[in-house]
Structure 1
């Protein structure tokens, strides 16, 4: 047995045991050093003064030329080639010392080969027996590739956000609870939100009629509307912030993540412009049909008028012969007068039909429209129907000439003046205006009569339509004939009327050779 001779000197056994412990510690140290150096990522050990005490091979190769370039140097000198400490806001050590926990930051560091790389730096404290920090282990990880991928993803995301934001179609995205999480500018304008944050968090059902939102979700989850998760087409109504309903076309889809429903997206199209265009198209189609109908009626009227004209002439002739022979038979005379009166009415209708169906081109020449109007008014003013009617002439002083048939245009103006007098029942104000508007010579005929009922406005230019009673012997052809004459002159006629207040007929003609505004200034000459 090995033992000590006295207590001050170790025995041979003690020396042998200490040697074995030292050998084992040395062996463990070598194993640790080999492990430390074999790590693929840079690792350094620092003291509390932020100077490196050790660094593995990967650290030396990445940040220094040799061990001497690292050990004993501060972290800011080795990593950032600076003699000044880092800004505390970007340094992990203040937080590490304060809370004695690992801290991770991201920094761009220039490697020994001169290439800058983004590094994730994790600094972890090593606590001594007293609980105080004795050393700091710093591990580095090159995250440049992740940064590049992240940048590309961010760029792609920004690009898609720009696509959504700049889309002319309104786009809405809501979570599965129905809360709006995205609404582009077009959608905000459609719904009336003034700013970006306004709609966020609002229940999307607020913008649908009751139950419509659930109906859309039901279709999205059905196979019958384009497949599960898709709604290819649907017309519905949405409501803006004021509750006003807007017709829209909607396409929608469910957004999935790992097979789970996470959101819904809807792309809308405001149907109001299309509906308005369809209305205009339908109106134009009806006008075309009406024109075709008028042309057909005209051709039919010509044939009928010619067929009736001769028999009516015979009826009138024989009725007048009988009247001459029955001077003393008062009752029979009254009856014959009624026959003649009705036959005369038929003749007027036939004449109107012939005028309406007239196919010949007008005998046109250069005309002063004011002169034609003055001639027409000089004729109507002498009639008893106009005795209590004030005629106001507000004629443009310098108007360009038009090309037209004087007698046909007088027929139009005469018809409008007579209609106005009858609407005013012989008492009121008839105003005739001329002027220039939008490159056209305009004539307005205004009366203060009974006006036209709204339901009759669209019918007044139809053949045989009349609001006059039988006593007034209206044929319903005057305005139809006038409309046709104006159309053959390349013009147009329209009417504005308020029942009980009067009507205004506006006629537009193209000037003979266009219009020079400096040569033909607007003016009124009463």
Structure 2
């Protein structure tokens, strides 16, 4: 670059690069000396030129034979000149004219390129300063004038280092220029060295501001120049200071908060922990910082799961919320911490770790467990109380109904006997019409039904003490099932035995327990037959339905259990609440009296056992009968 009279800077085209031997490449094609052409080519050209000249002379002399010798010599010289001049022009002067035209064109192109580059550099918002090999400023754009306060005329050919406040950067610049110059010489003119740093500079008004300087070297005018891009970073510095101050306040707050707090890098290295964290774990800060979180505080069995969760939160940039984790203290005890995480970001917005903030909930969890156990005991006690109350009410109800049933059965039995006797005597008459015989048969069937109801009432009212003996439950069930299994098979119902592997012995009255089991089996049988009446057996088979009664035996603590699970219509919730009430039945008229399960409930209660029912409407029901096991003490 060269400086004009008005102290402005003008860009020149870059110097040509040098070859390995140090020779400079020509900027454009120059004219070739005459001797550079081939000798044969020159000899032929000269001979042709002379031949042409002699030929012209001979023509002229033949046209004028009386010309004097002096004139002939002059004509010969003129002819040689006319022929040789175009040859000399063609070989020597014409390339020079062409080179001059090319040089003018390139100069115009470079001038336009210089104008465009200068416009761009003047229009940019960043300050651009060009420094020559001696450290003097040779270019200064308008952004630099606004930043430093100096005009181009004031600052031109001044030392750039006079603008820098810190002396330590003097050495930096000198080293930079020296290294770049060595690099350029080594590479024969090629250099693209770059550097960037922050420094404080002094403006014209003596105000000191922080700037970011980017350096790049360029080879111009056979010398090394440095292009400086200077950017004001005052706002960035203030933001950085504010961020540091905010971080300091944040750290102080974390130190004082009564929460387990730590900052951990992505690899698990602990960068920060507060005093409360140290109090909970029993460690000192010097023993924790720089250590691995997982190795120091997490049990081996939790390593894989916690690492996976932590790495996923960092990779997916999500935060962990209310996660409970046991940590190991210095003494080896375990503390339960419920924590949240927030991601730690670097200046480029990349996640480099997490901040863990948690609460020690060990004591609270213990209190909750104690409260939960107390509530569970209270719930069970309340259920037992309600159950006892229900049983008491049911027992009193059954007792009252028993006395009433005994009286009713006695009063009804005598009239029924009279009616039965009268019908039998009437049937012995020989002159009875067919209608009378039919009516007598119907009356007799109804008398038998009424007698059966009366007998059930007497059985319900009778307080018969069970004759307790030691029984083999599996053998007893086999004998009971044999009474009804064949008839059930005719009704498309299969009995499936799922007995316990070992023998089960219990104490009970065989007759009364047979009555209970047959009643439960009969109810399951009626339920499955009702389903087959509602839907045809073929349709049920298409749906995959199987008429099946599964009888299972189990041992539960000191009780033996028998479960009867059917695939019938099931029992509704309202029915379950009333199913043991006397005279309550869901069967159609004439099919049941509603006393079967009431009597069964009383029998099992007298045996010291219980009956339970579970059911889903449309899917079947499950009755469970529990009876005391026979032990050496009570056998």
* Bin for the TM-score computed over the shorter chain: 0.3 to 0.5
Structure number having the greater helix percentage: 2
TM-score normalised per structure 2: 0.36
TM-score normalised per structure 1: 0.44
